[in-house]
Structure formats: structure tokens, C-alpha cells
Amino acid sequence: MDELPPQLTAQEEGSHPYLVMKDQKPPIITKAIDALHRHKDEFFKKYGEEGTEAEKKAISLLSKLRNELQTDKPLLPLHDDWVDTDIWNQYLEDQHNLLNENDKKISWFQSSWLYVECYLYRRIHEALVLSSPISDFDVFKDSKDQNFLESRGAIEALCFYLQESKRTIEVVDENIQKDEFCKLLQIMLWGNKCDLAVVPGQSIPQTSSPLTILEGLKPFILVNNMDALWSLLLNKRKKSQENFSVIRVDFILDNAGFELVTDLVMADFLIASNLATEIHFHGKCIPWFVSDTNIKDVNWLITQLKAAESTYLSTCGLIWEDYLKKKTWVYHDHMFWTLPFEYCAMPHVAPDLYADLQKSNLILFKGDLNYRKLLGDRKWGLTIPFHEALNGFHPAPLCSIRTVKTQVQAGLAPGQGEQVADSNPEWMTSGNYGILQFDGGP
């Protein structure tokens, strides 16, 4: 294979990665410190003086981290004893070994942006791990919960829509089913606007009914492979009705709150319509990019839904809990998702995960960070085929469902990027455009 395009870095002043590292990340660390402060009394109640000391320690480690970032210090090895510590330290060493003499240090603004951004969240985790007994405190939990609470209206509208659609799903014809499937795909797509890492700590709730705005947003979908997804699942369903075969769909989750609800609504619809017989969710095992989903967020969401006054919400809560209990839905959180590797490295870094994904009939990758990792965060030409930019990562048919927030994109039609740029120069970072980009697999 020819040489791969270079990865993005935050080196160039004024570039998008530079501004993210300079302006977005320090306030995210500050918000994490604030969250620890806010929970001070809780730590004391739970653990006494030891809790207070741990809170102080975590805050001082986070302040130090913020300073290292702001002064572009070299990245340091990790000092905790988490399951992935050695892998991170080996990664750092490998980065050093790759440097040739002219290259600069491994630091926040010089090295691969994907690496340093992931490393930042891993260091935030380290600050907590080193601050026992409050190590499993999630500094981002409050903001994730707030996003859910502020999106309640939209969530209720969505749960109502799901239940109405499920009432008739068995009897309506294929075209109507397809129409509903495509609507829910678009809701999953625009739900990805709600990540909290872009506007630190500021929730972008979904306040109006998401269903009413879909038509108007269609022109903003730059790659729209919904038909391919529908055909694939429809074929699987036909075969499964003949030979009772399993249809497995995997969701590589992104953000908690409203976006997670859109994903679960789709997962429910797939089961109800027999387009899938089992769903596998993949979340993060540590707090990640502020709003990404952990198991605690899933459990909290289900508890909230079950306790809601609205029967549309409580019914969803009960059904979803039941799916998880019966393993119709399975939740996984492999540590690979919180390592800095591009996905083409998965077969040798996490062969168990790759082998598991190979069992899937369709893998849905939610969000911008997943897209960056799919493409190695590389500067592929906009018209390079998606399949090629995946650089050998083809465990099964897959689809990226993502609002475009960073300058990583492949698979556009000739001239399409230029045309969009004419009307919206910020199109790659605004989050206003989306893709539903399919690759048929090996």
C-alpha cells in the first residue's frame, strides 16, 4: 500500500485541532474540577476525611494536567495501575521511537491530535484512579444527566412515536416500514449533534420534536446510504424467516443523554420489526470525551424512564430493561474503545473484539470520534472511496452515522466538498452536516 496520508495535529496556530486543544480542553478540565468541588460533602459523608483528602488530590492532579496542556509540555507515562496502563505507556514509547531527529517532542500541540485528545481523557481518569476511595467518580456524570433532563420533551415525542409505530409494524407494508426505519436513522444522525465536548459543559438539549425537522435537514446529509442499510436488513430478514438464522446488529455508541435514547429507540424498532434478532451495544469503560456513554449512564437512563410519569417513557424503560435481562440486547465495554488506536489496528491490538465484530451483520458507528478512528484521523482526499480510507478495517458491513465536526472526510462525490464549502466555509467543523456512510465489508 502507498504511504498513508498524515494524521491531523494541533501544530498549526488557528487550525481547528489547535483551537480545540487551546480553547475547549482547558475549560473541560476546569468543569471536572468544579464537579469534584460540588460533590465534596458527598465524599465526606461517604468516606470521612479520607474522602476529602482524595478530592483534594484529584483536584491537584487535574490542575497540574491543565497546566501541562496549556504550556505544551511533553506527554508523560501513566502512573496508575488500570488494565490498560501498560498499553498506553508502550504507545508513548512507540511514538518516541518513531520520531526522527528533525521531529519535535511528543507533546500536546505537536503529536497526533487523535492521540493527545484520547490521552487527555485517559489522564483525567488517572487523576481519579490515583485518588482512592473516590476513583469511580465520573466527573462528567452531572452534565450527561442534565442533557437527558433538558431533552425530556423530545424524548417523550420519540418514545410516543416508537410505540405508535410498533403497534402496527407487523401489518403495515414494507414501504411504510422502510419509511419509519429511515426516519429513525435520521433521528440517530441528528441526535449526534448533542455531544457535550464541543461546547464544554454546555448541554445542547433537543427541545422540539425531532421528527418534525427531518425533511428540512435532508439537504444537509452529504452521504446518504440509507437504502443500502434497508436492503441489507430486509434480505437478512427474508433469510431469517426461512431458516431462523440470527440477525445481529452492533451499535458502537457515542454520547449519553438524548443521542443514546435515539439509538435505543432504533434498537427497539429493529427487534420489533424482526430486522434484527439481537443487538450488541458497545460503550466506554471510563468517562470519555465528556458525554460518551458508560454502563452507569445506561442504567441511570432506564431507571429514569421507568420512574417517569409519562407512560410512553415508563413503557420504554420497562421494555428496554427486559431486553437487557433477556440478552436480546447485550452491553459490552471493551477497553479498546478508550485507547488511542485507529480502528485498522484492531485486529492486532484487540483480536478478541475484532473476532466478535466479525459475527455482526451490520455495525453502526455513532459519532465524530468513531469516524475519526475509522479513518485513522488522516487527511484523506474528500473523494477517496470510504472503503479505501478504512485501510483494511472490514470486520463486517458497517455504517458511520455522524454529524461532521472535524476535518476528516472521505467518500464524497467529485466537486461536492467544494460546493458545500462555497455556501458554508465551516462545513467540516460546524456539526450542521451529516453522513450515513455505508461500507459493504470485506
Ligand X SMILES: O=P(O)(O)OC[C@H]1O[C@](O)(CO)[C@@H](O)[C@@H]1O
Residue numbers of the site for Mn ion (CB under 5 A)?
195, 254-255, 289, 292
Give the range of 65-73, 194-202, 295-303, 326-334 binding ligand X by CB under 6 A.
194-202
Find the binder of ligand X among 55, 84, 368, 439 (CB under 6 A). 368
Minimum distance between the CB of residue 388 and ligand X, rounded to whole angstroms? 21
- Please choose which of ligand X, Mn ion, none residue 393 contacts, taking the beta carbon within 5 to 8 angstroms, the exact cut-off set by kind: none
Find the binder of ligand X among 117, 138, 297, 342 (CB under 6 A). 117
Contact indicator for 64, 127 with CB cutoff of 8 Å: no
Contacts for 349 with CB less than 8 Å, ≥ 6 apart: 87, 336, 339, 341
In the complex with ligand X, the residue whose CB is nearer, 180 or 368, is: 368
406 binds ligand X (CB under 6 A): yes
Give the range of 79-87, 320-328, 363-371, 432-440 binding ligand X by CB under 6 A.
363-371
263 binds ligand X (CB under 6 A): no
CA distances from 98 to 12, 91, 224, 343 (A): 21, 11, 38, 20
In the complex with Mn ion, the residue whose CB is nearer, 271 or 374, is: 374
Contact indicator for 111, 18 with CB cutoff of 8 Å: no
Find the binder of ligand X among 125, 183, 372, 373 (CB under 6 A). 372
- Please choose which of ligand X, Mn ion, none residue 114 contacts, taking the beta carbon within 5 to 8 angstroms, the exact cut-off set by kind: none
180 binds ligand X (CB under 6 A): no
Minimum distance between the CB of residue 2 and ligand X, rounded to whole angstroms? 26
In the complex with Mn ion, the residue whose CB is nearer, 126 or 195, is: 195
- Please choose which of Mn ion, ligand X, none residue 192 contacts, taking the beta carbon within 5 to 8 angstroms, the exact cut-off set by kind: ligand X
Measured CA to CA, the distance from residue 84 to residue 86 in angstroms comes to 6
Measured CA to CA, the distance from residue 288 to residue 323 in angstroms comes to 26
Spell out a b/e string for 85-99, using b for 16 or more CB atoms within 10 Å of the CB, else e: bebbeebbeebeeee
In the complex with ligand X, the residue whose CB is nearer, 124 or 198, is: 198
Minimum distance between the CB of residue 10 and ligand X, rounded to whole angstroms? 11
Give Cα 401 to chain centroid, integer Å. 10
197 binds ligand X (CB under 6 A): yes
Other CB atoms closer than 10 Å to residue 349's CB: what's the count? 16
Minimum distance between the CB of residue 192 and ligand X, rounded to whole angstroms? 5
192 binds ligand X (CB under 6 A): yes
In the complex with ligand X, the residue whose CB is nearer, 23 or 170, is: 23
229 binds ligand X (CB under 6 A): no
Contacts for 228 with CB less than 8 Å, ≥ 6 apart: 438, 440
| Cell (9 digits) for 102 | 528533525
Site map 63..102 versus ligand X, x via CB under 6 A? ----------------------------------------
198 binds ligand X (CB under 6 A): yes
Minimum distance between the CB of residue 177 and ligand X, rounded to whole angstroms? 28
Measured CA to CA, the distance from residue 164 to residue 228 in angstroms comes to 26
Minimum distance between the CB of residue 291 and ligand X, rounded to whole angstroms? 6
405 binds ligand X (CB under 6 A): yes
Q: In what order do the strands lie in the sheet containing 248-252? A: 221-224, 434-439, 398-403, 362-366, 248-252, 278-282, 329-332
Whole-angstrom Cα Rg for the chain = 22
Complete DSSP assignment for 155-214: HHHHHHHHHHHHHHTTTS-HHHHHHHHHHHHHHHHHHGGG-STTTTT------S-GGGGH
Nearest-5° Cα angle at 114, 110 to 115? 70
In the complex with Mn ion, the residue whose CB is nearer, 268 or 292, is: 292
Q: How many residues bind ligand X (CB under 6 A)?
A: 15
Minimum distance between the CB of residue 260 and Mn ion, rounded to whole angstroms? 11
Minimum distance between the CB of residue 166 and ligand X, rounded to whole angstroms? 28
CA distances from 48 to 94, 128, 131, 177 (A): 42, 17, 14, 57
In the complex with Mn ion, the residue whose CB is nearer, 150 or 180, is: 150
Where does this chain bind ligand X (CB under 6 A)? 20, 117, 192, 195, 197-198, 254-255, 289, 367-369, 372, 405-406
